[in-house]
């Protein structure tokens, strides 16, 4: 069993998987662990579609691809893609992406939806910026799936390509009214998992009393 601190510090994204299948029983066990994630008012707004059908997966991929190519176009132009939800207007670039191009071979594909009617969007009244707090009722659940996977020797990655193509993807997945497509999670037995993660040190983001205060010095 991996200890929780090690799991927190080493759960790097996995985008390459062996062909070894992951049973429904294991997927159900991951979700059974993840359901203990916190959510605002304990509303547990998650819904999960375990997407097995190759045709459905291919349609998901077809909706993800233009988003990926737009992302790469912005990257290539040295811009931050989708900042404040906006397109940069740069020409999309066709770069292969194994998750998208070989979606049928990924052992587990989970579409994660959130029931917006059950989420208190506490900062939904800020007209100067996009709301962010609502996501906190669904992404801890997603991260718990990835940690639960790690605990079983599996790995994966949370992706949001499809969220940008939600309108097109909704009928493919039967997304219920009032729900948002929060993430697509890919899982399987890793061909490789990076455990030396590049993250900024605490002194670069933690200050005392105020965000312009002195650095937290342990
Ligand atoms: C909100 C969110 C959205 C993400 N979207 C994507 C995505 O669309 N495609 C993808 O390949 N990875 C996606 N990722 C994974 C990140 O790229 C990854 O967590 C980050 O680059 C750190 O890399 P590492 O896990 O290898 O250290 C996403 C992660 C988060 C938390």
pLDDT tens string, the chain, 218 residues long: the values are 899 999 999 999 999 999 999 999 999 999 999 999 999 999 999 999 999 999 999 999 999 999 999 999 999 999 999 999 999 999 999 999 999 999 999 999 999 999 999 999 999 999 999 999 999 999 999 999 999 999 999 999 999 999 999 999 999 999 999 999 999 999 999 999 898 999 999 999 999 999 999 999 87
Other residues' Cβ atoms within 10 Å of the Cβ of residue 126: 12
Give this prediction's pTM. 0.97
Ligand 1 neighbour 194 (Cβ under 6 A): yes
What's the 162 CA to ligand 1 centre distance in angstroms?
A: 13
Ligand 1 neighbour 43 (Cβ under 6 A): no
The 10 Å CB-count burial string (b at 16+, else e) for 62-100 is ebbbebbbbbbbbeeeeeebeeeeeebebebeeeebebb
Q: What CATH number did the domain enclosing 182 receive? A: 3.40.109.10
205 domain-assigned: no
94 domain-assigned: no
What's the 13 CA to ligand 1 centre distance in angstroms?
A: 7
129 domain-assigned: yes
75 domain-assigned: no
User: CA–CA separation, 146 vs 53, rounded Å?
Assistant: 22
Which residues form the domain of 147?
A: 4-53+100-192
What's the 42 CA to ligand 1 centre distance in angstroms?
A: 26
């Amino acid at each position: 069993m991996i200890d929780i601190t090690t799991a927190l510090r080493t759960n790097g994204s996995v985008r390459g998987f062996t062909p070894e299948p992951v049973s429904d029983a294991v997927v159900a066990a991951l979700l059974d662990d993840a359901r203990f994630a916190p959510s605002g008012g304990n509303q547990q707004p998650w819904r999960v579609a375990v997407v097995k059908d190759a045709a459905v997966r291919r349609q998901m991929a077809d909706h993800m691809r233009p988003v990926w190519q737009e992302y790469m176009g912005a990257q290539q132009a040295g811009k931050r893609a989708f900042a404040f939800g906006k397109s940069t207007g740069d020409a999309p670039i066709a770069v292969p992406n194994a998750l998208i191009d070989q979606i049928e071979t990924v052992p587990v594909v989970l579409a994660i939806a959130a029931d917006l009617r059950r989420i208190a969007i506490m900062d939904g009244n800020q007209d100067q910026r996009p709301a962010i707090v609502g996501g906190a009722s669904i992404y801890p659940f997603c991260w718990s799936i990835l940690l639960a996977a790690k605990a079983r020797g599996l790995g994966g990655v949370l992706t949001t390509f499809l969220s940008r193509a939600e309108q097109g993807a909704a009928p493919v997945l039967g997304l219920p009214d009032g729900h948002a497509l929060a993430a697509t999670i890919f899982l399987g037995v890793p061909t490789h998992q990076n455990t030396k993660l590049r993250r900024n040190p605490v002194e670069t983001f933690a200050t005392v009393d105020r965000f312009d205060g002195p650095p937290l010095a342990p």
